[in-house]
Amino acid sequence: MNKQKSAIWDHFHPEEHPFVERAFDWIDRASRGRPVRTPFLDPREKAIVETLIGQKGELQCHFDGGYEGAERCRCLIAPRWISPKEEAFGLSFLSVRVKRRSGQLHHRDVLGALLGLGIKREMIGDILIAQGQSFVIAAREIADFVLLHLSRIGSESVSVKLCDRNELAVPERRVEQRTVSVASLRVDALVSGVFRLSRAKASEAIRGGKCRVNWKVVEDPSRTLEEGDTVSLRGWGRFRVDAVEGKTKKGRFLVRVEQPE
């Protein structure tokens, strides 16, 4: 490992090292003049790729998740003189419909059914549930497999067909806002307050690598959070620190948070 690569490596959590090594390989291949298309990346993985690409002035990365604001995207790493078309990202759009008129699908059930077919998570983009419709953005490489094998989600029989990008129904972002009173802006204090866990359990989960701040693993319970930070705790969900509204007479912080409904 050269010195530059080693110095970059030190900036990432050990849990991220396998992905960083994979990203280095993509960049090395793209440096030879051939664009490289990645699987779907989450926001943290996108940030890692962008950081590494920043070390290579002759390359740039392009992202496409199927619609504006997509969380999971495929990346095309290519020389700067290349302007990729939509087709280059290898996205397929699948419409999933429940055969029973009153049947409903939920995100976790759709994802679970796809993973149950043996599909890797990195081949699945965002799953959209809106207006009684369900859509899966998937890697083109697995689209035919899904069309052939996905016939049931949970207790519901479903039909799956290809659709166009412009047919996607993107759900309105709906969040619940509430204010929590916490002793400090430490991550363990907010996690404890938002998810109604004891401070000890929150700290234990964080030290166990179950907490991410802005999609990056955080193991230090004393890490201070700021407005705009997104926090997730495995098995509990996520929240966003919207604003610090002030302090109570007893000196506790009043923090407004947003959680997906």
Model confidence pLDDT, tens digit, residues 188-208 = 999 999 999 999 999 999 999
Q: How far apart are CA 25 and CA 44, in angstroms?
A: 18
Question: Given this model, what pLDDT does residue 88 score?
Answer: 96
Q: How far apart are CA 63 and CA 75, in angstroms?
A: 5
Confidence bin at 5 (pLDDT 50/70/90): low
Between 102 and 255, residue with greater pLDDT = 255
Question: Given this model, what pLDDT does residue 2 score?
Answer: 56
Cα 7–chain centre separation: 26
Question: Given this model, what pLDDT does residue 261 score?
Answer: 74
pLDDT in tens, 55-91: 667 899 999 999 999 999 999 999 988 889 999 999 9
Cα 137–chain centre separation: 13
Question: Given this model, what pLDDT does residue 48 score?
Answer: 92
Domain boundaries 175-260, corresponding CATH code? 3.10.290.10
CATH of 3-85 given 3.30.1330.20, 3.40.220.10, 3.30.1370.160, 3.40.50.10420 = 3.30.1370.160
Stretch(es) of the chain classified as CATH 3.30.1370.160: 3-85
- For the residues 126-136, what does the mean pLDDT come to? 90
- Amino acid letter for position 160: V
Stretch(es) of the chain classified as CATH 3.10.290.10: 175-260
Question: Given this model, what pLDDT does residue 260 score?
Answer: 84
Dihedral of alpha carbons 31, 32, 36, 41, sign = negative
Question: Given this model, what pLDDT does residue 183 score?
Answer: 95
Query: pTM for the complete prediction?
Result: 0.81
Q: Which fold has domain 91-167?
A: Alpha-Beta Plaits (3.30.70)
SS3 content of the chain, % helix, strand, coil (to 5): 30, 35, 35
Residue 4 has pLDDT above 80, yes or no: no
Cα 114–chain centre separation: 17
Exposure string of 101-117, with b = 16+ CB inside 10 Å and e = fewer, is eeeebeeebbbebbeee
Stretch(es) of the chain classified as CATH 3.30.70.330: 91-167
